[in-house]
Amino acid sequence: KDLKVHFPTDKEFLSKEESVVKAIDGVNFTIYENETFGLVGESGCGKSTTGKAILRLIEPVIGEVIFKGKDINKISRQEMRKVYKDMQLIFQDPYASLNPRMTVGKLIEEPLIVNSNLTPNERKERVAELLEVVGLNAYHASRYPHEFSGGQRQRVGIARALALNPKLIIADEAVSALDVSIQSQVLNLLRKLQREFGLTYLFISHDLSVVKHISDRIGVMYLGRIIEQGTKHSLYEKPLHPYTQALFSASPSIKAENRKERIVLKGDMPSPANPPKGCAFHPRCFAATSKCKTVQPELRDVGDGHYVACHLYNE
């Protein structure tokens, strides 16, 4: 709710207003139990920062993160430990996130040592069970990450994330480093695990086809804000925001019959250190009017759970 992460910059000569980088600037969304909420946008739009802010891995976070009825920005460190059992992160690069000197068994066991009362034998059983659950087997426990392929390493990352029976998994570019064929295997595994364990996902990716494959609802981010949000169906059938339209028109993965003429965007996404006034997208927008240069559009409900932040839909 109104989530903001503003980093200070060291540019003394700037005005107070300009001396912060608004990495995310008023993000609002709800993730319902057992669903997958996809967060999509170009790199630097604030998707990962949003994921980290939810997990309180960065500070300061302004706004509310309400998890099971409690604002986790306000709870004690003690209570936060419990919340961390319920929320887990899966990273982009499984190789970089797994300690190369630890066996895969130890890597999966680690959260159990820190955060459970299981005996060493029970932990060993649990590790074997988790390896099975992600499509590996007990025999893999004595191996090291470098002996695994990228897809297998991501399975290890998933097993580790599942160790404490979490409710919410935040997957940040979780399949982006993998080959396309391996990507779909891992996505299918994530869906299977969701059904089996009643998991809820926040799925962060720049890749539209991946987000489409796995999400129930999707938020599109641009320069630290969600500019459009809806069910997968409504968003892909009828993207409303000019940025979403351009993004989707450029994606070769969207079926040809659904694809409008390709919209080529002018220039790159501006720096969040110096976002354009008004609608932050206006310098690149093919539909911009003078109002867009001064007035920031709010995210508005346009019906059927579809929301858009654009002056074109104000009437």
Told to check if 153 binds ligand SF4 by CB under 6 A, we report no
The span from the CA of 51 to the CA of 45, in Å, is 12
Contact 230, 49 (CB under 8 A): no
**Smallest separation, CB 38 to Mg ion (Å):** 14
Q: What is the dihedral of CA 69, 303, 42, 257, to 10 degrees?
A: 140
Query: Which of ligand SF4, Mg ion, none does 48 bind, CB closer than 5 to 8 A by kind?
Result: Mg ion
Of 275-304, binders to ligand SF4 (CB under 6 A) are 279, 281-282, 285, 287-288, 292, 297
Query: Which of ligand SF4, Mg ion, none does 282 bind, CB closer than 5 to 8 A by kind?
Result: ligand SF4
Whichever of 64 and 207 has its CB closer to Mg ion, that residue is 207
**Smallest separation, CB 130 to Mg ion (Å):** 27
**Smallest separation, CB 266 to ligand SF4 (Å):** 12
Query: Which of ligand SF4, Mg ion, none does 312 bind, CB closer than 5 to 8 A by kind?
Result: ligand SF4
Could you tell me if residue 241 is left (phi over 0), alpha (psi between -120 and 50 degrees) or otherwise beta? beta
Whichever of 156 and 310 has its CB closer to ligand SF4, that residue is 310
Which residues make up the interface to Mg ion (CB under 5 A)? 48
**Smallest separation, CB 48 to Mg ion (Å):** 3
Helix axes 120-133, 104-115, angle to 10 degrees: 120
End-to-end CA distance of the chain: 25
The span from the CA of 162 to the CA of 267, in Å, is 41
Contact 107, 163 (CB under 8 A): no
> What one-character DSSP code corresponds to residue 241?
S
Query: Which of Mg ion, ligand SF4, none does 14 bind, CB closer than 5 to 8 A by kind?
Result: none
Residues that bind ligand SF4 (CB under 6 A): 241-242, 279, 281-282, 285, 287-288, 292, 297, 310-312
